[in-house]
Amino acid sequence: MREKIRYNDAGVNIDEGNLFVNKIKNIVASTFDENVPEGIGGFAGFYDISAAKNMQSPMLVSSTDGVGTKLKVAIESGILNTVGIDLVAMCVNDLIVTGAKPLFFLDYIATGKLSAENSVKILEGIVEGCKQAGASLLGGETAEMPGMYKEGDFDLAGFAVGIVDKPKIINGQNVKEGDVILGLPSSGFHSNGYSLLRKIFFEKLSMKGDEVVEGNISLNKLLLTPTRIYVKDILGFLEKGYSIKAMVHITGGGFYENIPRVLPEGLSARIFPEMIPDCLHYSYLKSFGLIDERELYRVFNMGIGYIMILSPEDADKMLGEDGNLYRIGDIYKGESVIVKGVDF
C-alpha cells in the first residue's frame, strides 16, 4: 500500500494558518467603524454605505498597489512591522487624489512558508496604516505557496475602496496657467526606487543593513521609514472648503511622470528645488554623487510626497494657515515638466 501524503508534506501548514487567523482577529477588529456589521472569518466582508445618502451622486473609488522591492530590505533585516503601513499608504494616497474618503481596505499576503509570528508583525503594520487612513480592514487573504517563494520571502498587495460625491471629484480640469503648486513633505523614500537604492547601498557601496548612517540610525531603518499617509491632511483641507483643483501622489516616476497625469493639455509644471525642504534620506543619498540630478527627480519624491494645485489666492490662504506646506512650483503653458536648475 502506498504511503499516504498530507498537505503538510507538500509544505502547506493549515494549522499555522489557523493560528495566524486566531491571532489577528482582535487586531483587525480594532480598525472597524460603525459601518462594519460583521467581523473577520467569513468568505467576504461587508460595509454599510448608507452614509452616501447625503451625497448627490455617490461614486465608489478603488485603488490597488504593492510595496515593491522595499520588501527585500524588510525580509533581509527581519524588520517586518512597517511595510504594512507602506502597503496601505500606496493605495490610499492614490485614492485621495480624487477627493475620495477611504472606507475600507483588503490585503493579500503571499509567502513560501507561513510563519504566524512574522505574519502578525506584517498585519500589525497594515492595521496601523488603516488607522492612520481612517479605513476599516475588512478582510484579506494569506496564501502559503511553497515552490513559488523561498522560505522567508513574501509579497504584499493591497486594495482600497473609498467614496466621493460625483460633483466634488477632483480631476484637474480647471487647472490654468499661473496656478500654484503646494507640497506636503514626505517621510523619506516612501516605497519607490528601491531596486536602485539597494543596488547603490548594498552593491555599489557594499554597505551593511545594520551600519549606522547619517541621522545616527541604521541603514535598514533609514530605508524602512514608512510611507507617510496623507489622508487626514487632505480630508481636513477639503472639509475646510479649500478649492483644490488637482492633486498628485508623487510615487514611481517622480515629478516628471506623475504631475502631467492631472493637467489639461497644453499645461505643465515648473518645480523649484530650492523651495523643497531638506530631507535626511535624500541629502544622504545625494552625498555619494552616484545618481544624476534629473534621474533623482524622475525616480524619487525628493522630500515632497504629495502636491496640490490651487489658485494663487487659495494657495496663499492655505499657506497662511498651515506651516507644514511648501510653495514648490507653478503651472505654465508648456508640454514638459521643468525642474529648475536641473533641466536648464
- Range name among 6-15, 51-60, 177-186 with the lowest pLDDT average: 6-15
In a domain, 186, yes or no: yes
What is the model's pLDDT at position 175? Answer: 98
Instruction: Find the CATH number of the domain harbouring 330.
Output: 3.90.650.10
290 burial level (CB within 10 Å; 0-12, 13-18, 19+): middle
How high does pLDDT run on average in the chain?
A: 95
pLDDT digits (tens, 9 = 90+) for 66-86: 999 999 999 999 999 999 999
Q: What is the C-alpha separation between 182 and 244, in angstroms, rounded?
A: 10
187 plus 289 within the same structural domain = yes
> What counts of helices (H) and strands (E) characterise the chain?
11, 12
Tell which wins on pLDDT, 288 or 215.
288
Q: What is the C-alpha separation between 268 and 329, in angstroms, rounded?
A: 11
In a domain, 13, yes or no: yes
* Half-sphere exposure at residue 246, Cβ-oriented, CA atoms within 13 angstroms: 24
The pLDDT of 328-340, averaged and rounded, is 96
119 plus 189 within the same structural domain = no
The pLDDT of 166-170, averaged and rounded, is 97
31 pLDDT tier (thresholds 50, 70, 90) = very high
Q: Is the pTM of this model over 0.85?
A: yes
The pLDDT of 155-176, averaged and rounded, is 97
42 plus 187 within the same structural domain = no
Residue 313 has pLDDT above 90, yes or no: yes
The pLDDT of 80-108, averaged and rounded, is 98
189 plus 160 within the same structural domain = no
What is the model's pLDDT at position 37? Answer: 87
Nearest to 162 by CA among 250, 238, 263: 238
pLDDT digits (tens, 9 = 90+) for 35-50: 998 655 578 889 999 8
In a domain, 310, yes or no: yes
Angle at 219 between CA 217 and CA 220, to 5 degrees: 100
State percent of the chain over pLDDT 90.
85
Instruction: Find the CATH number of the domain harbouring 159.
Output: 3.30.1330.10
- Partners of 143 in beta bridges: 110
- Decide if 179 contacts 146 (C-beta within 8 A): no
What is the model's pLDDT at position 287? Answer: 96
The pLDDT of 180-189, averaged and rounded, is 98
For strands 304-310 and 180-185, give the pairing: antiparallel
Q: Any idea which residue has 467576504 for its cell? A: 44
140 plus 233 within the same structural domain = no
What is the model's pLDDT at position 6? Answer: 85
In a domain, 1, yes or no: no
152 plus 192 within the same structural domain = no
Computed from CA positions of residues 50, 54, 60, 62, in that sequence, does the dihedral angle turn out positive or negative? Answer: negative
In a domain, 173, yes or no: no
Domain count of the fold of the chain: 2
Last residue of a domain, one of 138, 168, 198: 168
The pLDDT of 197-206, averaged and rounded, is 98
What domain range is 330 assigned to?
Answer: 180-339
Q: Which alpha helices (H) appear in the chain, and where do they start and end?
A: 14-29, 70-77, 83-95, 116-133, 194-198, 219-223, 231-239, 254-258, 280-286, 293-299, 312-321
The pLDDT of 291-318, averaged and rounded, is 97
160 plus 189 within the same structural domain = no
Rg from Cα positions in the chain: 22
Measured in whole angstroms, how far is the alpha carbon of residue 80 from the centre of its chain? 16
Residue 10 has pLDDT above 80, yes or no: no
Measured in whole angstroms, how far is the alpha carbon of residue 254 from the centre of its chain? 14
pLDDT digits (tens, 9 = 90+) for 128-158: 999 999 999 999 999 999 999 998 999 999 9
11 pLDDT tier (thresholds 50, 70, 90) = confident
